[in-house]
Amino acid sequence: MIIRSPIIVVVGHVDHGKSTLLDKIRETAVQKNEAGGITQCIGATEIPAKKIKEICGKLLEQMNCNITIPGLLAIDTPGHEAFTNLRKRGGSIADLAILVIDINSGVQPQTKESIEILKQFKVPFIIAANKIDLLPGWKKQKTLSFAESFKHQDNDVKDRIQNKVYNLMGELGKYNINCDLFNKIDNFTQSVAIVPCSGITGEGVSELLAMVSGLAQKFLTSNLEVTKGNAKGSILEVKETKGLGTTVDVIIYDGVLRRNQYLVTMGEDEPIITKIRALLKPCELQEIRDKKCEFEHTDEVVAACGIRISAPDLENAIAGMSVESADNLNDAEKIAERMKKEFHAVLIEGGDEGIVLKTDSLGSLEALAGFLRRNNIKISSAGIGNVNKKDVIKASHMKGKNLYYGIILGFNVGVNEDAERIAAEDKIKIVKDNIIYHLLDSYNEWKDKVMEDLKRQELMTIALPGKIKIMGDFVFRKSKPAVIGVNVLQGSIKPGVQLMKESGEIIGVIKQLQDKNITLQAAKAGDKIACSIDGATYEKDFVDNEVLYTNIPEKDFLKMKKGLKSFMTKSEVELMQEIVQIQRRNNHLWGLGG
């Protein structure tokens, strides 16, 4: 029985030190070559067992852990993405994750995102409480052991770090994560281990590696058995390689991959069947994307490993898609047919209601679709690639059913020109981001704005509270209709609304409003305008200085009460209560329905 290296994924919030931490382990300068200090593409590093033993030293003996796994295959995901490309049917190819959290800033938006996705794909994890070297008073020690370094710290620093850990435990408890310091846990199946560490000084790295290796070896051994069959893996990245054309960087998690075998994966629409020309394997403790990395050609590789594959017709390959090898074309075609069915099972096509979702890979689509569903957001269509004309037409159709569906969410994708033009014409909102939580926040902000606009439009269709005072010095006509100057004391008035006395007696209907011969749609508090009142006669039905109110139908009041009150001013709400009291003099149950 062959046991492969556990596949370890490193996730967490941007700038919390993921690459720096891995950099300390592999002793290369990968992270320093990245723009802005943030990893720009996905990479993989093989850490052999001998290196783990060298870093951990006596700690493994203290933990009663004899390393039997061949090593670790560490995946370094970008700071703005989770490990969604590392997918296989029904879950993730990652065996264990290290969730990196800056101990000084705690849980951040992408920390939450990582937790959500780890739970969704059912990947166990430990927590690296990073950047302990930035704690006030921390004294750097020449050791890779946190426990050893902790002994030499002042008492106030020890208290500070323990408080930080307790705070972190409290924050993570909100997400139903039971966790504690690694050396205080008796049952690792019930608690998540927290390992304080520093990617800069290396303190805590030995405990981190020991915990990852020990836990993977103890609890995941059955998952690490390599079958003797053909290889299965997942595409990390599609790229142009000088002298080789389009190549794919792949993580192989099971089986054996050989040169000259058939390779099967999915393109945007159809499966790709090609023949492997070359396998390029990185040297030990080198990273696939490292520009200084030297590759060696090999005839075959056994899981788990990171491998670069050169083959024809890979131009339409997509990151996050599964790959499998086959010994003959007949087997390859069977695999292709199965992959196509699995691919379309993940896509959402022809849904009756919901928003439109586009992502850069199948893995991110699965993760984001699951995240949106958990937040009760329906999806009518979900696909891979840039937002196109078809997506906008779909969203426009959905908008016709429900205004809240007139939006397209794009994760790590662009927008085609014709799609952008049609979206502007049809007023379809397109939101793009590379952080899941930001997409959700943008959607909620947009939805709130749509709701606000709808309610404001609805306010325009109902009678609003208004209070006016008759200005007897400006009588233009006494009746049929009465045209007279009024001062709007509170609220607002508009044509079509009935006016009533303080007693509740209705005197007539506002026919028209004018200011200096200009017809008005409405008048608000402070306006002094001419008002024509149909059905009323001045000095018979109302007199100089008399105060009149708008007569609000009960159904309009109930609408305000249920959902429109928040869009009214404090003065309008107070006036509404005054009108309610007038109405209840004649009907004590007025406004209590609904």
Distances (CA, A) of 468 to 233, 247, 350, 471, 553: 76, 77, 55, 9, 18
- For 433-448, b/e burial (b = at least 16 CB within 10 A) is bbbbbbbbebbeebbe
Domain of 104: which CATH number? 3.40.50.300
Distance CA 121, CA 367 (A): 8
On whether residue 122 sits in a domain, the answer given is yes
405 & 532 share domain:
no
Please check the confidence at residue 78 and state whether its pLDDT lies above 50: no
3-state secondary structure of 15: coil
Confidence of residue 526 (pLDDT cuts 50, 70, 90): very high
Residue 40: pLDDT band by 50, 70, 90 thresholds? very low
Is residue 527 scored above 90 in pLDDT? Answer: yes
Q: How far is CA 163 from the centre of its chain?
A: 30
| Each residue's pLDDT tens digit, 24-36 | 876 633 333 443 3
Which of 65-79, 104-118, 235-249 has the least mean pLDDT?
Answer: 65-79
Distance CA 580, CA 270 (A): 66
> CA-to-CA distance for 197 and 126, rounded, in angstroms?
12
Which of 154-168, 274-288, 314-328, 432-446 is predicted with the least confidence, judged by mean pLDDT? 274-288
368 and 435, same domain (yes or no)? yes
Task: Quickly count: other Cβ atoms within 10 Å of residue 397's Cβ.
Answer: 15
Closest-CA residue to 205 (of 413, 24, 396, 71):
24
**Final residue of a structural domain among 443, 459, 475:** 459
3-state helix, strand, coil in the chain (%, to 5): 35, 30, 35
Give a yes or no: residue 13 inside a domain.
yes
- Higher confidence at residue 30 or residue 341? 341
* pLDDT tens figures, 489-505: 999 999 999 999 999 99
Is residue 199 domain-shared with residue 268, that is, in the same domain? no
Name the nearest CA neighbour of 278 among 301, 252, 303, 255. 301
Given 459, 489, 520, the domain boundary residue is 459
Give backbone dihedrals phi and psi of 474, rounded to 5 degrees, phi first: -125, 70
237 with 194, same domain: the answer is: no
pLDDT, greater one: 277 or 93: 277
How far is residue 6's CA from residue 215's CA, in Å, rounded to a whole number? 10
Q: What is the pLDDT, as a whole number, of residue 212? A: 92
Highest mean pLDDT among 53-62, 295-304, 572-581: 572-581
Task: Kindly provide the b/e burial profile for residues 149-164, where b requires at least 16 CB atoms within 10 angstroms of the residue's own CB.
Answer: bbeebeeebeebbeeb
pLDDT above 70 coverage of the chain, percent: 92
How many helices (H) and strands (E) are present in the chain, helices listed first? 14, 33
Question: Is 593 domain-assigned?
Answer: no
* Mean pLDDT, rounded, for 364-389: 90
Please report, for the domain that includes residue 278, its CATH number: 2.40.30.10
> Does 181 lie in the same domain as 100?
yes
Partner residues linked to 72 by β-bridges: 47
Q: Which of 287, 317, 344 lies at the terminal end of a domain, its last residue?
A: 344
Closest CA to 98 of 28, 160, 19, 175: 19
- Same domain (yes/no): 300, 271: yes
Domain-located, residue 591: no
Q: Pick the closest to residue 455 from 551, 568, 555 (CA basis).
A: 568
Phi-psi region of 50 (alpha: psi -120 to 50; beta: other; left: phi over 0): alpha
Do 136 and 30 lie in one domain? The reply is yes
- State whether 320 and 384 are in the same domain: no
Shared-domain flag, residues 388 and 479? no
* Distance (Å, whole) CA 273 – CA 286: 30
Rounded mean pLDDT, 505-531:
95
Structure tokens at 567: 């869009």
The confidence band for 77, taking pLDDT boundaries of 50, 70 and 90, is: low
Q: How many domains does the chain have?
A: 4
Mean pLDDT for the stretch of residues 547-569: 87
Q: Give domain status of residue 592, yes or no.
A: no
The one-character DSSP state at 103 is T
What mean pLDDT value characterizes the chain? 87
Whether 67 contacts 85, CB under 8 Å:
no
* Phi, psi for residue 90 in degrees, rounded to 5: 85, 5
Q: Do 81 and 8 share a structural domain?
A: yes
Alpha carbon distance 311, 366 (integer Å): 28
Q: Which residue range forms the structural domain that includes residue 151?
A: 2-226
Q: Is residue 434, in this structure, part of any structural domain at all?
A: yes
For residue 35, the tally of other CB atoms under 10 A from its CB is 7
Q: Is the peptide bond before 463 cis (omega within 30 degrees of 0)?
A: no
- Give 92's strand partners: 87
The 3-state secondary structure of 277-314 reads CEEEEECCCCECCCCCCCEEEECEEECCEEEEEECCCC
Sorted by sequence, the CB contacts under 8 Å of residue 10 that are 6+ apart come out as 18, 21, 22, 74, 75, 76, 77, 97, 98, 100
Question: Tens digits of per-residue pLDDT, 456-501?
Answer: 788 788 899 999 999 999 999 999 999 999 999 999 999 999 999 9
Are residues 356 and 335 located together in one domain of the fold? Answer: no
**Is beta strand 125-130 parallel, antiparallel or unpaired with respect to 96-102?**
parallel
Give the pLDDT confidence score for residue 444 in this predicted structure. Answer: 93
Both tokens of residue 398?
A: 């959905």
pLDDT for 367: 82
Instruction: Pick the closest to residue 470 from 550, 546, 551, 532 (CA basis).
Output: 546
Q: Would residue 172 count as lying in a domain? A: yes
3-state secondary structure of 423: helix
DSSP 537-579: -BTTTB-TT-EEEE---HHHHHHIIIIIGGGS-HHHHHHHHHH
Does residue 594 lie within any of the structural domains? no
Instruction: Give the pLDDT band of residue 37 (cuts 50, 70, 90).
Output: very low
Helices 362-374 and 436-459, interaxial angle, to 10°? 50
Which pLDDT score is estimated for 473? 93
Which range (190-204, 233-247, 283-297) has the least confidence? 283-297
Greatest mean pLDDT among 37-51, 65-79, 105-119, 512-526: 512-526
Please give the angle made by the CA atoms of 174, 180 and 181, to the nearest 5 degrees: 145
Residue 567: the pLDDT is 76
Strands (E), 348-481: 355-359, 379-384, 407-411, 429-433, 466-477
Top-confidence residue, 263 or 593: 263
Instruction: Based on the fold, state whether residues 200 and 90 are members of the same structural domain.
Output: yes
Q: At what angle do helices 49-56 and 205-219 cross, to 10 degrees?
A: 130
Pairwise CA distance, residues 304 & 256, whole Å: 9
Contact 501, 445 (CB under 8 A): no
Please state, in angstroms and rounded to a whole number, the distance separating the CA atoms of residues 468 and 489: 5
